Structures are given as C-alpha cells and as structure tokens.
Amino acid sequence: MERDIESVLVTKEKLQECVAELGTRITQDYTGKKLLVLGILKGSVPFMSDLIRKIKIPIFYDFMVVSSYGFSAESSGVVRILKDLERNVEDVHILIVEDIIDTGLTLKYLKGNLLTRNPLSVKIVTLLDKPYRRKTEVTPDYKGFLIPDEFVVGYGLDYNEHYRNLPYIGILKREVYENR
C-alpha cells in the first residue's frame, strides 16, 4: 500500500489535532440540544469514530450508505440511498459526518432528503473539502482541511476499497488509478 502513495498530505498528528478542534466547536454549538450524528458509510468511519469521542455532550448516532461513485474514481452524478436511517429524525438536530466533499452532488441530495423528514436542523461536518470540483453549491458548516484537486486515500478514504486503513491522508499515485 505505502508504495502507491505519492506523498502524505495530512499526517496522523494533524488529523487528531483537527478532530479535537472540530469536537470542541460542535460541543459548544450543540450543548443542550438533541443531536444525531449521522455517518456516511464507509469513508466517514475513522473520522466519525474519533470525532464522537471529542464531542462532550450526549449524542445519538446512526449511519447511511449513499453512493454516487460505485467502483469508479469519478462520481456518476446519480445518487442512491443504499442504507437509510434506522430512526425518526423529526425534532432533532442532524450533523452529517462526511470524509470528503468533492462534487457536492451526494451531499446536496442527502441534505434535501433529510430536510423533508422535519429535523430541527441539518448541518455538515467534513474532514476534507475540495471546492474546486463542485458541481453544485454545498458549503460545510464545519470543515477540517481544504485540499488540492488530488486523488486522496487513507483515514477512511479509498480507491476500489483499498487504502482506508492508512493512518494519514495521502495522495495516490496517478498510475494506480489511471491504468486500471
């Protein structure tokens, strides 16, 4: 795996610092509120796991599987919910946890879908933000790192289901995903 990484973009230490800061801000903003932390599988798992331990208020959490990529390096633009929530979200605040915002198509669809379910609010926290690739307007309420337009893996992010377990965010060598 390591030989496929061109360079480390965000170290393990920087990830942990960022997650702690985000957890503190979220704790301040949601103190006294009923909060559902909603992870988008599979990429958000390491980030969400670390983040919820830094949120110092009672929370609920759940997961959804939403896809617009399949097994491709490019978004298809067609968003599908493969696994929905297991709870009613009426009268709760929802915080969507995403690993990366790229085109924004998936999150725009998801946020719109969730708003039809009558929550008190729907906000987004993302670890990585890639605004140069936006195809629709989506602005995260909380974000970790603004990153360049590179194919990144690690800390939950994958290419073809590989590299998720790297403890850092790395730039994948172009030949790995262009020649397959």
Q: Which of 4, 102, 129, 141 is catalytic?
A: 102
Peptide bond into 108 cis (omega under 30): no
Q: Which residue has the tokens 């030989």?
A: 3
Question: Which residues partner with 60 through β-bridges?
Answer: 36
**Catalytic site includes residue 102:** yes
171 sits in which H/E element: strand 169-172
Task: Report d(CA 172, CA 176) in Å as an integer.
Answer: 7
For the chain, the distance separating the N- and C-terminal CA atoms, rounded to the nearest angstrom, is 16
- Specify whether the CB–CB gap between 153 and 122 falls below 8 A: no
Task: Report d(CA 169, CA 148) in Å as an integer.
Answer: 12
**Nearest Cα to 103, choosing from 123, 73, 83?**
73
Any idea which residues carry the catalytic annotation? 102
